[in-house]
Amino acid sequence: MSTPTTSTRRTTPRADCVADAAGGITFDVAGTGAHDGALVLKRRGGSGPADEVRLPLSTSGEGSSRAVLPSAVELAEGRWDAYTESGEAVEPGIRDLRALVDQEPGSGRIAVRVPYPTADGRLAVRCWVRTPHAEAGAIGFAPEQGAMSVEGVLYGTELGEGAVVEARLRSGERVHEVPVSGAGRTFGFTLAYAPIAEGGAGEERLWELWLRPASDAPRVRISRILDDVWDKKSIFVYPKQRTAAYQAAACYTGDNDLCVRVTVPA
C-alpha cells in the first residue's frame, strides 16, 4: 500500500502597498516568503552596499507580514525592485497612492517614492531625489505662434536675476535659451519651436528642458514628479504641431522629465 503524500502549496509572494506624502511606504506581504525575515529592495543597475535596503518583516495577520520603508531611510534616485529575503521577486498587489496626489512638499530636498508594477509583473519603487527641483505644472499650446508655454513651481531655490530656461539637445551639441517670467518660487516661460527645429533635416531630436534660476545658479531639470504617476511618457500625451518646416510636441520621458520632440522633414 502506498503512503499518502502531503504537498506544500507555494504561492507567489505579493505585496499590497500604502504610500504616504512624506516618502514612507508600508508593504503587506502575503504568500511564499511572507515570513522570510525581510523584504529586500535592490536598486536596478546598482552593485554597492547602498543599493540594497533590507526591511524587517513582522507578522500582521494570518499568512501575511508587514514591512515599513520609513521616509527617513535614504534611497538613491532610480528604480528599486522588491524581493523576498530568499531572492524571489514580489508581485504588486493593491497600491494605495492617494496621499501622493497633489503633493505640496516643503521648500527643501524633494524625495518622492512611488510603488508601481513593472512591465513583466513585478513590484518596484520609483524614487526621485531632487535638490533643488523645478516642478512642471500647466502646459499650454499656441499653434498660431508655433509655441508652447509652461508654468511651474520651484522647490529649494527661488528665481533671481538673469533666470532663463534652456532647451538642450540631448546630444549636447546645442542649447537654446528663453527668458523666464514669475517671481519667488513660481516660474513660467514660452518656447517657440522654430528656433529648435532649425537644421537636422530628416532627423528626430529630443530637447531637454532645464531652468537656470539665476545667471550664476546651476541649472535644474524641469520634471513632473509630485503625484502618483510613475511613468508619464505614455499617459501625458500632448498635441503635435505640424508645419511645412517641422513637427513638434511636448513630452515626458520615462523618468518624468519634460522635453520637446522635434522632427524635421528630409
Cell 508655433 belongs to 146
Tell me which residue of 152, 147, 227 sits closest to 194, measured CA to CA: 147
Q: H-helix or E-strand containing 196?
A: helix 194-197
> What cell numbers appear for 58 in the block?
513582522
What does pTM read for this prediction?
0.90
Contact 51, 42 (CB under 8 A): yes
Rounded to whole angstroms, the Cα distance separating 18 from 28 reads 9
Residue 37 DSSP class? S
Contact 43, 51 (CB under 8 A): yes
Contact 211, 160 (CB under 8 A): no
Task: Name residue 86's amino acid.
Answer: S
pLDDT tens string for the chain (266 positions)? Answer: 444 444 445 589 999 999 999 999 999 999 877 777 999 999 999 989 999 999 999 998 777 899 999 999 999 999 999 999 999 999 999 999 999 998 888 767 899 999 999 999 999 999 999 999 999 999 999 988 999 999 999 999 999 999 999 999 987 789 999 999 999 999 999 999 999 999 878 889 999 999 999 999 999 999 999 999 999 999 999 999 999 999 999 999 999 999 999 999 98
Q: How far is CA 214 from CA 55, 157, 159, 163, 207, in A?
A: 41, 10, 6, 4, 21
Q: What is the pLDDT of residue 129?
A: 95
Rounded to whole angstroms, the Cα distance separating 185 from 101 reads 20
Strands of 123-228, DSSP E: 123-130, 133-142, 147-155, 164-169, 175-179, 181-183, 186-192, 204-212, 220-223
Q: What is the pLDDT of residue 56?
A: 96
Q: What is the pLDDT of residue 224?
A: 97
User: What's the first-to-final CA gap in the chain, in angstroms?
Assistant: 81
Residues paired with residue 168 on neighbouring β-strands, in sequence order: 175, 208
Q: What is the pLDDT of residue 9?
A: 54
Rounded to whole angstroms, the Cα distance separating 106 from 130 reads 12
